[in-house]
Chains A and B, each alone.
Chain A
């Protein structure tokens, strides 16, 4: 690669705008940073040579240049922003309300929002954040972030490392803060130097030229925060692999003991007791009376699962009772998960179901409905189906539907969980006559002969429910997420980077003696009020002229010109 040799002797890489050592503008390259059109030099990246600014670009260079443009980055972010907003117009697939008439996306969007909903669904906006194009968008932002940062960070670091205390006078006079003073004594310069030292500036000297610098590390802030963002992106990618992220769910009944899914049979859980508390039960809730009464549903205050977690003892033989050791006896509550062996178990739902039902058999003609006999049916273990009652009656459970709904008067099975059980009974009278068939469920007692057009005789006996036992089923989520620390680390680095870049500034002050004058120039990447205050303090009680703000002078000139034109 061709090199550029500056008059100060330093050899710069091709494409350099300002000499890395002395800052002298390199002729012919000034249009790159727009210096040819302004009095002030563009100091953004110290006029260093960036790959994206090279002439004669190869194909790779061009891609590099594309992604290293902040304009492109901003446009990508703006598109992501708009896309994200579109995704919130209607609920996402995952958030379709539970009460919706149909939770099938193909039906839901059109039924709820008409034509617009249908289009929304067909464009795939109902699952926008998992769509391939959204992911590509985020990935492009990530690529842009990396390239943009590298494009600037490497040359910037080089330029800041190579800068020398002696600067070219053109460089100094084209800084935003600049002044020239006559007759400055050596003592005065020394005094300024010491004051700057007191203000925690790093001082370097060369040939009576003084260079004071402070807060250079803040220049790395943006790059540090971008690294944080990249770590977060990497974590998000890793999280899609089962090695890093495991997510299981378990329903466990009171009294039941189950293997915890996803743990390779290492852990078992026994559900001891479930507790549901709602507001309005205790004295202290009185103050909320008004708010609660305006609400139709009960407000859940706490629900918790008292459980025993067992760990499988590896040394013991399988099937052996000693193989299980109690690991812990947690109370798992909302917001208070329990942890074991790298897994976290969260309370994330509950259901009520029936565990057993008791029935009585009575004669239809008996106005008191006195029981001929009673029996209890175990809904969770429905193996016993024949019940022999007193007086020689036998009731047979011909069919048991744990969870049914009536469709056109015919009971249909809805699920295997005893939420709304229904029974088809056959009552065998003691005289050995024909059994009577009937259907019973909560709130229903149904004699098929009343609708049967065959006109059979009406039933003589009925079965009534006299007691139900309810039991809670606790819904527990089990996760093991190795990406969490990575996300945390990324977030931490991001915050550090932002703070580093925002709350500190890179301030530099140059004192440059010439034959008859002392030149004073200063630059900061941010907060010009701050650096002006520093200079004022440093040159107090000396004959050095305060640096002029050449930006303000330039702006005022422009304003005047435009005023005159009017």
Chain B
């Protein structure tokens, strides 16, 4: 049996199922039952949560078959790690759904999980061997626990975001509406990344550059037309688009120019999509969604935000600091080394400690709490995306 193939199909199936489930959760918005007790009993919600669980099962199949195919748990490169993070988000959603029966959570959590999974598949998906320093059971224990902790914390972002869209006064422009719109725009940029990468990949675009890095000439392949070429790079491919400018020299790290170029394209595509949506809606995206959420109980959203931090924080601490330290002790003989990845785990830990203290001792509930939840998610994504790809360290997957 070709496990690698089954694995691919199963992931694809999971993605489609999440998409279908999202539509069912969307249908609950028009439903009369939205209170805490009834919400979960409405027909579309029941169908939605079942499809979600089937999708999750499909993703488990992906995980297991890929494990069998490669011989090690699929948690060792960017694709595998981020996919697992998306899968954990779905799991966290399912658990919190059963505690609070809040269908609107599915309407937002599933698309965000889907964006995460789609984002993951933009990275090389080949089965890859494990370098010696990664071979340990503690690696799997560490990475999977961190991922689950992050995913539970991500749910607090989802409910925080719903809270903000529901509560912020959209009748006039204010600092809050602008920031909320920026958060939403960031989601569009991620979609822009996925669309541009997929589009040019389908077109099989390639432009090869040679450029100096650490006194050596290295070659890089751009799969997106080069707006920003590598610093002091030279285009090798004929009739490929000439770069408009070079990535600045202070951007170091391997392949900085190509990554910078990808960011530019993501922003361009994200802005175009966002612009089209704005033209259709004729108002801020937040303002357009707000009326749909009228029936959602904001106190309940606030409660779920807090609950997911309360559950996610210890899980994250266990995986991101304690298990990480145990693994580092075994692998490198030092449990803590101020590696960028470790520092950012510590920052995440500090941040959520602040969240809890402000809430408990200084009464930061509701909107303030929701903004903090959004900020926390920004830190988590920074750790997963920027630290992995740009601030390369020992844990680097790049």
Contact = CB atoms under 8 A, between A and B. Distances in A.
Interface string A290-308: 1110100001111100000
Contacts of A244: none
Contacts of B128: 288, 291
A463 to B, nearest CB: 33
Interface string A120-136: 00000000010000000
Interface in A490-520: 491, 494-495, 498-499, 502
Given A73-B357, A301-B129, A335 B215 contact: no
A77 B348 CA distance: 11
A335 B331 contact: yes
Contacts of A348: 332-333
Interface string B294-329: 000001000100000011011001100110010001
Interface stretch (A24-32, A87-95, A187-195, A393-401): A87-95
A495 B131 contact: no
A335 B215 CA distance: 33
A340 interface: no
A301 B132 contact: yes
Interface string B1-30: 000100000000000000000000000000
B244 interface: no
Contacts of B362: 70-71, 74
Question: Shortest 8 CB-CB distances between A and B: which pairs?
Answer: A291-B128, A70-B361, A88-B340, A346-B333, A288-B129, A81-B350, A335-B136, A99-B214
Interface stretch (A161-169, A279-287, A366-374): A279-287
A74 B343 CA distance: 18
B111 interface: no
User: Interface residues of A: mostly helix, strand, loop or mixed?
Assistant: helix
Interface of A: 44, 70-71, 73-74, 77-78, 80-81, 84-85, 87-89, 91-92, 94-95, 97, 99-101, 112-114, 116-117, 129, 279, 284-285, 287-288, 290-292, 294, 299-303, 334-335, 337, 344, 346, 348, 477, 479, 484, 487, 491, 494-495, 498-499, 502, 529, 552
A87 B129 CA distance: 32
Contact of B132 (A94, A303, A477): A303
Contacts, number: 130
Contacts of B314: 495, 498-499, 502
Interface in B42-80: 69-71
Contacts of B132: 300-303, 334-335
Given A91-B393, A346-B333, 16 more contacts: A70-B361, A84-B343, A88-B343, A94-B337, A94-B338, A101-B214, A113-B250, A114-B250, A288-B126, A334-B331, A479-B333, A487-B335, A495-B314, A495-B317, A499-B314, A502-B310
B71 A284 contact: yes
A88 B387 contact: yes
Contact of B249 (A114, A287, A300, A495): A114
Contacts of B71: 284
Contacts of A303: 132
